[in-house]
Amino acid sequence: MFAIVEVAGQQFKVEKDSKLFVHRLDEKEGNKIFLDKVLLIDNEGKVKIGTPLISNARVSATVLSHLKGDKVKVFKKKRRKGYQVLNGHRQYFTEIVINTIEEKVAAAKEKVTESAEKKATAATTSTVKKTAAAQKPKTTSAKPSKETEAKGGTKTKTTAKPATTKTTTVKTKPAGTKTTAGKEKKEVKAEKPGTKTTAKKKTKES
């Protein structure tokens, strides 16, 4: 029995008790991991092919060690330019051992989903209760505030009336004075040209 599994972007043919070197995984040595991306399973001639993955199938493995691969030398050169660079690289790997290949894990997943749904429903009910409890005192405190606002509104209306009368009286007084001053100025200006005309007539007669 073997399977084809995707691990860290690479595909491997996996059998029980086989060892693999995969790209570095964020797991501690000795931890068990589950590989859910199963592409194909061959169980003694019975082949299952995923589209692209096989549902309810997984491969369990354990982490043995973390290590580095062999050094790879990278040499760069540009002719007639006096440019050459030599670098080295060692890839990080993780060694794992395959424990089991499981074709169906539906029961375990259903239990997990049921427990998650129960937790979600409990959380929603608790939040609803909290919101309802928080809203009750707010509504009771809002009623007297509205009444007080209504009372205050009536008071502001009564105080607003004398304010309007004061502004009207203030505006009427300077308006009358301005109009009278304007008329007097106009009358003075009208008299001046009359005097000039009389003076000119006297000069002509003389």
51-60, 148-157, 197-206 — which one is most confidently predicted on average? Answer: 51-60
**Bridge partners (DSSP) listed for residue 60:** 34, 100
Query: What H or E segment, with its residue span, contains residue 149?
Result: helix 106-205
CA distance 34 to 101: 10
Q: What is the pLDDT of residues 31-71, one digit of tens each?
A: 999 999 999 999 888 899 988 999 889 999 999 999 999 99
Please, are residues 60 and 102 in contact by the beta-carbon 8 Å criterion?
Answer: yes
Domain ranges within the chain, ordered by starting residue: 2-104, 110-145
Q: Which residues, other chains included, contact 93 with Cβ-Cβ below 8 Å and sequence gap of 6+?
A: 21, 22, 23, 24, 66, 67, 68, 69
pTM (two decimals): 0.47
- The share of the chain scoring above pLDDT 90, in percent, equals 42
Q: Is the pLDDT of residue 129 over 80?
A: no
DSSP letter at 198 equals H
Say whether 51 sits in a helix, a strand or coil: coil
Using one digit for the tens of pLDDT, what is the confidence trace for 64-118? 999 999 999 999 999 999 999 999 999 999 999 999 999 887 554 455 556 677 7
Residue 7 near residue 20, CB atoms below 8 Å? yes
